[in-house]
Amino acid sequence: MANEDKKDFNAMLHDNKDMPKIQTITDQKSIEKYGGDKMYFAPPIDYDKVMRRIPYGKVITLGEIREYFAKLNEADFTEPITAGIFASIAAWASYQRSENETPYWRTLKANGELNPKYPGGIEAQKEKLEAEGHTIIKKGRTNIRYFVKDYSDVLFELNRT
């Protein structure tokens, strides 16, 4: 995202954009990739609600959140592009509030990767995660990326409650 200082992310967080909804897809490659044709779209506020549930010392991946939404709504999968955008909106909305913080830094990308699109980028997320006892590892030489070491050992399990 760009021009974060000029956007009202809390307004964006509460704009449901005609979601939630389920859409049937017909593209065969996508059906094969995602394992079905029922695609769920969750509104931004739902990502925020789930991200708030992740306790101190635990983490979750966006993929886990997407799987949770799909199961909860009897869909084959949750749409991945809006998922990433809406998680970032939740992060920036929290950053813009003076209270009622969402612990967005605990929501990781696939394989435990840190998200450079969160407020303050990798450094801020790394600092917050390390303060909660996580070890951050660096991978790559040219395309450097950062991951929570052994993230699967501290994954928070979402259930239907």
- pLDDT means per 10 residues, the chain with 161 residues, are 78 94 96 96 98 98 97 96 96 94 97 97 98 97 96 90 49
Q: Which residue has the tokens 């303050």?
A: 120
pLDDT of residue 160: 54
Residue 81 buriedness (CB in 10 A; 0-12 / 13-18 / 19+)? exposed
Q: Which helix or strand (DSSP H or E) is residue 154 part of?
A: none
pLDDT of residue 50: 98
pTM over 0.85: yes
Query: For residues 112 and 56, what is the distance between their CA atoms, to the nearest angstrom?
Result: 16
**Measured between alpha carbons, how far is residue 20 from residues 11, 47, 62, 88, 135 in Å?**
17, 12, 17, 18, 36
pLDDT of residue 98: 85
pLDDT of residue 141: 92
pLDDT of residue 17: 86
Q: What sign does the dihedral 127-92-96-3 (CA atoms) show?
A: positive
* 3-state DSSP assignment of residue 125: helix
Contact 54, 106 (CB under 8 A): yes
Contact 113, 104 (CB under 8 A): no
pLDDT of residue 6: 79
Give the single-character DSSP code of 57: T
pLDDT of residue 2: 62
